[in-house]
Structure 1
Amino acid sequence: MPEVRVAIVEDEPPARAKLRRLLASRAGWRIVGEAEDVAGGTALLRDAAPDLLFLDIQLGAENGFDVLARTAPPHPLVVFTTAYHEHALRAFDVAALDYLLKPFDRARFAQCLERVAARLAERSGDDGGADDEERLRRVGDLGRAGRLVRLVVHERGRARIVPVADVLRLSASGNYVEVHTRERRHLVRATLSRLAQRLDPGEFLRVHRSHLVRADFIAATAPHAHGDLALTLRDGTELLLSRRYRALLPADWRGG
């Protein structure tokens, strides 16, 4: 693999030092510059043209997304480094290749570099980078982002990607949302309302202020007290559809 040019934008000196140490132990990875704020980061990307950018999200009063929004494509591959997992959804919306949740260890960092190397190898053989650049152009307009196609969950310090196509239902749980798939249950630090805004309403029905359910996962409905409906899901789970959300069901599902 050709030498990989690496840039680091991180406002904490110890975090920059850790990245330097980890990269120094691996041949073929060369740091071409460091910055500690958005202004320095934008200048670094413009002048050094790195292949890979390690980018902290929290940069004083600004954030790492501003670095990308203020620089023109082509952009390098981006790996976000942060102690705050709630930014993960936005990170992958702008085509981040990886998301290192601090504190990460040497093994997790090695996994990240393997992913970078694989992606660079793909880019050398096709024009896949064009797709990444197109998504990065949307960084300044995420408020109007399209439907979610994946959720990012964090388990034991690792980011796991859960395709929305695998999600059967979601339920509010304090400051988190429980994401249920056929295999297991995951936790995402988000609000149900926020996720509902990004999910296709034709696929996911709001059946209660605490529940979203994939429409084709509903097996049966039955009348319940006070105008509510009892829902039976295909795995046998029973939920109550409150009268407030009954109008969101297809008309032929509501009964009398």
Structure 2
Amino acid sequence: MTKIEREFIDVPRDFRIACEGFGIMVPSFLQLMIRRVSFIHLFTEDDSEQNLATRAFAVAADVLKEHPELHMNYSLANQATPSIPLLQKLMKLATNRSYSGRLKRERAAKLVEKLFAIARQAMDFKPYIFYDEETKITLTKDFMMLALINQYHPILLINAMMHAVSLADLHARVHLEAIEHNPALGFYLRVQHGYGELVDRKHINTIGFKNFMADLQEFKVRFFPVRDLTQRMELYRERLEDNFQQINNLFDDE
């Protein structure tokens, strides 16, 4: 597994290209995704952005389990008596087929509020992190509960999640018909297509971006002889890096 930074937000190059290449500011994307986390989606699934966001961080937690030394000493053991009934109510709510996903999330919010009031005693992190010296990202109660249950610091979950978003990986898998379920990438694609209104419309109308997209559309034919997935991803990654640099150079010249 790629080394995951535990002290600060460490944006992988692939993630930055996926966001900024399409005019999406990285901290805005992270804030939107964190706000869409809904704790109840650890127990139920649907086609919502909330489900994708929650599942993306759950997958990130699974990846982190490969390195037990990253585990934190968070525990609800000392608050088991008041917290277990609330968790049981959440699971019962999640399996209620009479409720829509929206209604489940609304009702779950009240239970998470109570659970958080109990669990916050076990937390040793603040309800926000800094993307840089000036940019603060707020952590929601649902997201902090997800971090607590999985026993990972929020920064670790965010950094691990970002490694799942890569245009090189996405297009290589699509072109070689080797697609895998990836909720983080699914959430990203919805944002790329307009969800959250994070895409800078001015950016996607620039010559640099239009050249970027024109070249991307030729990847499948240009690299068709390369049938190995890993090799194809690396070739895409190199080309995307070149194109991303060209976008930035053209933008600087304007």
Which range, TM-score by smaller chain?
A: under 0.3
> Which of the two has higher C-alpha Rg?
1
Which one has a larger percent strand, Structure 1 or Structure 2?
1
Which one has a larger percent helix, Structure 1 or Structure 2?
2
State TM-score, norm by structure 2: 0.26
State TM-score, norm by structure 1: 0.26
Task: Report which structure shows greater RCO (CA 8 Å, sep ≥6).
Answer: 2
